[in-house]
């Protein structure tokens, strides 16, 4: 959960990044505090469609994802450009793959203030034509003629993307890492003969299903290639200065030496000059901003004034010998309190639940903690009790309603505030809503029952049943789903789904990150949730792990259990329909067994069915049974684990007497012996029973042995 700082004293003037050449319309380094883009950059970035405040800033870059649906824009020209040429560039990193067809995530926009009628220079991300675990970019000038760059790109790798609109030729050119404007490699050109005579005044960032997960940084807009990229007139290019995220320190304590990188196309790096200005001279005098390092590797240290707390916006500027300059800014928060221990809660109607959290302030300021529910009809009361570092948040749900609510927690020390939140799900139980044992005659699954239906892929290599097991084959492409024996499970219902899938891998995954082979399926197209993956990871051939994603087409987390082929495996995936968060178990004994929870962005959707998928990457496997319910006990019988202790005593004759509860034997525990405390354990001597205890007496003449009580 991300901590979002709030401040009692707001800094109303921000030092915006700048360069000295007027031909550049926009220099956007996204060096804002983490949070919703339209909130942390008010008046600059605005929503023009979709769900407000979903697009976000994370660690000094714009983050957009196919799991969300907000579209935002920023104006760079008050009147609009409709003649000549217009250029843009940005640094692009994809951390999650787009879908096959993908979607566009970046575009120029007309002068309209609402939903745009004209988008030009749409940049697409997609996997069509790319190798496994790779993606490609494509460009469209207007609404037609989408042209791809035939270059496979890697996840988590940064690329410089340059875009040119030519209004006279009515075309758009897209480059990846171009050396100059005449570069023809890794380039695509899209022409729309209809042409457009509108004024282009805004840059748009779009979130839509299919784009993957995208980090976009260092956005530039100008009228020449040299305004946005190296390779033009070097004397016109400003120097480069790396970004810094928000920094935190205690009152009166200097930051550590923060690492900076500077560069320039023609000025030696040793001649680049750094300066700093504070937006709050009382808290941080500008004289307390000190630089160190040499060459391209520089540092900055910021020391707040003694006895002061709050926030200061620190603007750093680098200048080259041609008179060009660029600036970056970051927030320094001094004396911020801390909050820990937040966790999502699940409860039942009318059942009050407590959450104990820890708060702290380095300066020992008095802390005020408040909590507010977003859904007051569901949570009729939220109260905070306690003092000092430990506080208790008590949530009281309605006696009759089910669903989910966010609870926002604010901690204030009189100077700074921090805000975090957690989910409370008031659960609705439906019992078992799907039981599929695959007890059909051998044949094609779609032909054996009307319950399973296709939803994607092709009919080449359908899913078959053989020996009472559904077979998923790595060379086949048919994807199918089966509807629950219940009405559609709505986001508002507060239902938590548990899907048990019994599998046995015939062949192991050959790809490190594999692919997904099963998932929950929602009412909207492409609404795949709780995806189950199998991948080799970095294990030897024949071994693999099971992965999970809330929503993404690539696994965001992997269960640590290492599996091999021919081994029966029970997989359990819990999906909270209200929050969109998934949790995965492999061979669990109960709900407290080791599990992993998806870390990719959740995107709740109404759920209707469960799906099986065939694709390359995850090997081939047999699915023996699928069972879905709304509680763990609906799909698996919890094993109640009891800790038994083995007691030892020494008798006067030198013999040793070992005692443990006899009930351990009926629970599957065995007394084991070994000559080594670390290996070679075997079933020990037979024990006798005396009342409620099991007894083993070892004579003094016996060889040295180690004993333990173990449940194999």
> Read out DSSP for 15-80?
-----S-TTEEEEE---SPSEEHHHHSTTTEEEEESSTT-SEEETTEEEEETT---EEEEES-SS-
pLDDT band with cut points at 50, 70 and 90 for residue 675: confident
Q: Is residue 473 scored above 80 in pLDDT? A: yes
Rounded to 5 degrees, what are φ and ψ at 236? -90, -10
pLDDT of residue 386: 95
What is the C-alpha separation between 277 and 255, in angstroms, rounded? 16
Average pLDDT over residues 539-544: 92
pLDDT band with cut points at 50, 70 and 90 for residue 20: very low
Q: Do residues 8 and 412 lie in contact, with contact meaning Cβ atoms separated by under 8 Å? A: yes
Reading the block at residue 606, the tokens are 């109404």
Q: Is residue 646 scored above 90 in pLDDT? A: no
Q: Which residue has the higher pLDDT, 20 or 521?
A: 521
Q: Is residue 137 scored above 70 in pLDDT? A: yes
Burial of 452 (0-12, 13-18, 19+ CB in 10 A): buried
pLDDT of residue 105: 97
Strand partners, 43: none
Question: DSSP secondary structure string, 93-152?
Answer: EEEE---SS-EEEEEEEES-SSS-S-EEEEEEEE-TTPPTTEEEEEEESSSS--EE----
Rounded to 5 degrees, what are φ and ψ at 446? -65, -30
pLDDT of residue 211: 94
Q: Do residues 284 and 312 lie in contact, with contact meaning Cβ atoms separated by under 8 Å? A: yes
pLDDT of residue 4: 36
Q: Is residue 336 scored above 60 in pLDDT? A: yes
Reading the block at residue 366, the tokens are 């008095």
In which region does residue 39 sit, left (phi positive, over 0), alpha (psi from -120 to 50) or beta (all else)? alpha
Q: Is residue 9 scored above 60 in pLDDT? A: no
Burial 319-331 (b: 16+ CB within 10 A, else e): bbebebbbbbbbb
Distance of CA 419 to the CA centre of its chain: 20
List the single range of 514-523, 569-578, 677-686 with lowest mean pLDDT.
677-686
Q: Do residues 421 and 406 lie in contact, with contact meaning Cβ atoms separated by under 8 Å? A: yes
What is the C-alpha separation between 8 and 12, in angstroms, rounded? 12
Average pLDDT over residues 462-483: 89
What is the C-alpha separation between 36 and 41, in angstroms, rounded? 8
The class (CATH top level) of 434-635 is mainly beta
pLDDT of residue 16: 34
pLDDT digits (tens, 9 = 90+) for 339-359: 999 999 999 999 999 999 999
pLDDT band with cut points at 50, 70 and 90 for residue 17: very low
Average pLDDT over residues 267-279: 94
List the single range of 145-159, 229-243, 368-382, 535-549 with lowest mean pLDDT.
229-243
Average pLDDT over residues 677-686: 80
Reading the block at residue 595, the tokens are 């599990």
Q: Is residue 15 scored above 70 in pLDDT? A: no
Q: Do residues 265 and 234 lie in contact, with contact meaning Cβ atoms separated by under 8 Å? A: yes
Would you say domain 23-232 falls under CATH 2.60.120.200? yes
pLDDT of residue 644: 80
Rounded to 5 degrees, what are φ and ψ at 413? -110, 10
pLDDT digits (tens, 9 = 90+) for 488-538: 999 999 999 999 999 999 999 988 888 899 999 998 666 899 999 999 999
Q: Which residue has the higher pLDDT, 677 or 95?
A: 95
Average pLDDT over residues 159-185: 89
pLDDT of residue 428: 94
pLDDT of residue 524: 66
Domain at 240-244+257-334: CATH code: 2.60.40
Reading the block at residue 25, the tokens are 């319309």
Would you say domain 338-426 falls under CATH 1.20.210.10? no
Q: Is residue 18 scored above 50 in pLDDT? A: no
pLDDT of residue 648: 87
Best-predicted range by mean pLDDT among 64-68, 178-182, 203-207? 203-207
pLDDT of residue 73: 92
Specify the DSSP element, H or E, that contains 399.
none
Strand partners, 341: none
pLDDT band with cut points at 50, 70 and 90 for residue 7: very low
Q: What is the DSSP letter of 84?
A: S
pLDDT of residue 641: 64
Per-chain mean pLDDT for the chain: 88
Output the CA torsion 425→429→430→432 (10° steps): 100
Q: Where are the beta strands (DSSP E) in 303-398?
A: 310-319, 325-334, 338-340, 345-347, 353-360, 368-373, 379-387, 390-397
Asked whether the domain spanning 338-426 has the same topology as the one spanning 240-244+257-334, the reply is yes
Domain boundaries, the chain: 23-232, 240-244+257-334, 338-426, 434-635, 647-710
Average pLDDT over residues 107-116: 68
Specify the DSSP element, H or E, that contains 227.
helix 225-228
Residue 200: count of CB within 10 angstroms of its CB: 24
Longest dimension (CA), the chain: 106
Distance of CA 582 to the CA centre of its chain: 12
Q: Is residue 236 scored above 80 in pLDDT? A: no
Specify the DSSP element, H or E, that contains 447.
helix 445-448
Burial of 560 (0-12, 13-18, 19+ CB in 10 A): exposed
Q: Is residue 95 scored above 60 in pLDDT? A: yes
Rounded to 5 degrees, what are φ and ψ at 199? -90, 125
């Amino acid at each position: 959960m991300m901590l979002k700082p709030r401040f009692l004293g707001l800094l109303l003037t921000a030092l915006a990044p700048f360069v000295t050449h007027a031909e550049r319309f926009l220099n956007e380094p996204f060096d804002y505090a983490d949070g919703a883009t339209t909130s942390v950059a008010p008046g600059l970035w605005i929503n023009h469609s979709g769900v407000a405040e979903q697009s976000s800033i994370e660690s000094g870059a714009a983050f957009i994802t196919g799991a969300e649906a907000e579209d935002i824009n920023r104006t760079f020209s008050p009147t609009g450009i409709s003649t000549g040429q217009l250029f843009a560039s940005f640094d692009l990193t994809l951390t999650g793959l787009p879908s096959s067809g993908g979607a566009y995530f970046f575009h120029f926009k007309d002068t309209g203030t609402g939903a745009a009628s004209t988008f030009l220079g749409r940049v697409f991300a997609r996997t069509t034509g790319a190798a496994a675990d790779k993606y490609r970019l494509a460009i469209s000038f207007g609404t037609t003629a989408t042209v791809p760059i035939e270059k496979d790109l890697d996840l988590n790798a940064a690329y410089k993307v340059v875009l040119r609109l030519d209004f006279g030729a009515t075309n758009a050119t897209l480059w990846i890492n171009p050396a100059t404007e005449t570069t023809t490699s890794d380039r695509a050109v899209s022409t729309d003969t209809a042409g457009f005579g509108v004024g282009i005044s805004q840059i748009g960032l779009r979130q839509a299903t299919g784009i993957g997960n995208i980090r976009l940084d260092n956005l530039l807009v100008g009228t020449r290639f040299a305004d946005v990229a190296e390779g033009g007139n070097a004397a016109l290019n400003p120097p480069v200065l790396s970004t810094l995220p928000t920094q935190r320190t205690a009152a009166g304590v200097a930051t550590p030496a923060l690492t900076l990188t500077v560069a320039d196309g023609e000025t030696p790096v040793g001649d680049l000059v750094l300066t700093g200005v504070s937006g709050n001279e009382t808290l941080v005098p500008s004289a307390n901003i000190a630089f160190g390092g040499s060459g391209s590797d520089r540092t900055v240290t910021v020391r707040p004034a003694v006895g002061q707390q709050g926030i200061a916006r620190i603007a750093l500027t680098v200048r080259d010998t041609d008179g060009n300059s660029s600036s970056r800014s970051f927030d320094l928060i001094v004396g911020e309190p801390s909050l820990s221990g937040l966790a999502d809660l699940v409860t039942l109607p009318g059942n009050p639940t407590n959450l104990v959290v820890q708060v702290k302030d380095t300066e020992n300021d008095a802390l005020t903690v408040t909590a507010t529910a977003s859904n007051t009809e569901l949570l009729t009361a939220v109260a905070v009790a306690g003092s000092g570092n430990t506080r208790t948040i008590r949530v009281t749900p309605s006696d009759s309603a089910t669903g989910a609510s966010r609870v926002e927690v604010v901690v204030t020390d009189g100077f700074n505030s921090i805000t975090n939140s957690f989910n409370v799900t008031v659960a609705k139980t439906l019992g078992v809503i799907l039981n599929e044992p695959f007890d059909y005659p051998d044949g094609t699954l779609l032909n054996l029952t009307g319950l399973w239906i296709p939803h994607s892929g092709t009919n080449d290599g359908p899913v078959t049943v053989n020996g009472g097991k559904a077979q998923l084959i790595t060379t086949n492409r048919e994807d199918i789903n089966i509807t629950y024996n219940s009405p559609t499970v709505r986001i508002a219902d507060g239902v938590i789904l548990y899907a048990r899938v019994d599998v046995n891998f015939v062949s192991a995954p050959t790809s490190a990150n594999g692919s997904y082979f099963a998932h929950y399926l929602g009412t909207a197209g492409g609404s795949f949730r709780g995806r189950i993956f199998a991948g080799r990871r970095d294990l030897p051939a024949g071994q693999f792990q099971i992965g999970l994603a809330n929503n993404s087409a690539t696994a965001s987390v992997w269960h640590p259990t290492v599996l091999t082929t021919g081994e029966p495996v029970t997989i359990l995936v819990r999906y909270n329909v209200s929050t969109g968060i998934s949790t995965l178990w492999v061979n669990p004994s109960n709900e407290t067994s080791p599990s992993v929870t998806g870390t990719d962005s959740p995107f709740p959707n109404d759920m209707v069915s469960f799906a099986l998928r065939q694709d390359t990457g995850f090997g081939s496997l047999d699915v023996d049974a699928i069972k879905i319910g709304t509680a763990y006990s609906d799909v698996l019988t919890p094993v109640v684990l009891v800790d038994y202790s083995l007691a030892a005593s020494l008798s006067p004759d030198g013999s040793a007497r070992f005692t443990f509860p006899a009930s351990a034997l009926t629970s599957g525990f065995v007394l084991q012996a070994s000559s080594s405390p670390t290996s070679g354990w075997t079933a020990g001597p037979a024990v006798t029973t005396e009342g409620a205890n099991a007894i083993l007496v070892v004579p003094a003449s016996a060889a040295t042995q180690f004993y333990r009580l173990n449940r194999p």
